[in-house]
A and B are shown apart, each in its own frame.
Chain A
Amino acid sequence: MKIQKSSSTLVSAFSDADWAGSSDDRKSTSGFAVFLGSNLVSWNARKQSTMYRSSTESEYKAIADATAEVMWLQTLLRELNVNSPRAAKLWCDNMGVKYLSANPVFHARTKHIEVDYHFVRERVAQGLLDIEFISSGDQVADGLTKALSVRLFKNFKNNLNLIKL
């Protein structure tokens, strides 16, 4: 893994979920990758412990997990007196999630993710987090939620700053 000097101290995170990916119990897999500037600093790939009935729900759970990690990193940077842009960027590939985080719309299907929802929304409302849409093809966290083909895997490794020794 390569770590290079980077002029940017922006915290950016990529979050992805593979909805109902497990063929045994149909639980989803979520993953995120957090970058500081251009360097990868934190990542996670795990199977979600609860069932979700829509992809937006499981994507939202992944975002809430990524947000918690970003919050931790933002606090750490503040403690170390590192100047970093106030708002971290979070990239996700589900449009529903972006709208949900910007608008206080509620309906029956999102009620049970209220806690995750308010948690992320609060950060967005405070201006500490920007959620942006990214196409699935450019999603860096893709390889943390599913098995990739050789070509995509190569790309994935490249995006994570991994090099061959």
Chain B
Amino acid sequence: MTYIIFLVLRSPRYVMVLCGIVLSQDKYASDLLKSVGMSSCKPVSAPLSASEKLTLNEGTPLGPKDTTHYRSVVGALQYLTLTRPDISYSVNKVCQ
């Protein structure tokens, strides 16, 4: 297992189907979900709402403890973009 860099190379089953390799971090993703207690949450089909905008001045700021937690979660999400380029924009957005 090459879990150290959070990459699991899926091959035996998929090689035959696709004549290629599949890079996946599903273990990393599910571990991350577990660590934030969201493993039973419903999945969505798009990561970010196209109609609503995130702005700087709306909502209430997080307390110091929540801030640290938030940063550690979005920091962990950045590693997930290694095999999920589709969420790069959303992850970059929540890191701003």
Contact = CB atoms under 8 A, between A and B. Distances in A.
A2 B22 contact: yes
B34 interface: no
A123 interface: no
Contacts of A146: 50, 89
Contacts of B26: 165
Nearest to A24: B56
Contact of B85 (A1, A23, A163): A1
B86 A46 contact: no
A147 B50 contact: yes
A47 B50 contact: no
A149 interface: yes
Interface string B1-18: 000000000100000001
B48 to A, nearest CB: 4
Nearest to A163: B22
B94 to A, nearest CB: 11
Of the candidates B49, B57, B88, B89, the one having the most CB atoms from chain A within 10 angstroms of its own CB is B89
Interface residues of B, number: 29
Given A148-B50, A154-B45, A45 B88 contact: yes
A147 B90 contact: yes
Interface residues of A, number: 32
Contact of A147 (B18, B24, B45, B46): B46
A45 B81 CA distance: 10
A15 to B, nearest CB: 14
A153 B46 contact: yes
Interface in B33-54: 45-50, 53
17 contacts: A1-B85, A2-B22, A2-B23, A3-B20, A5-B20, A23-B53, A24-B56, A24-B57, A33-B85, A45-B89, A47-B92, A47-B96, A147-B49, A150-B45, A162-B85, A162-B86, A163-B22
Interface of B: 10, 18-24, 26, 45-50, 53, 55-57, 83-86, 88-90, 92-93, 96
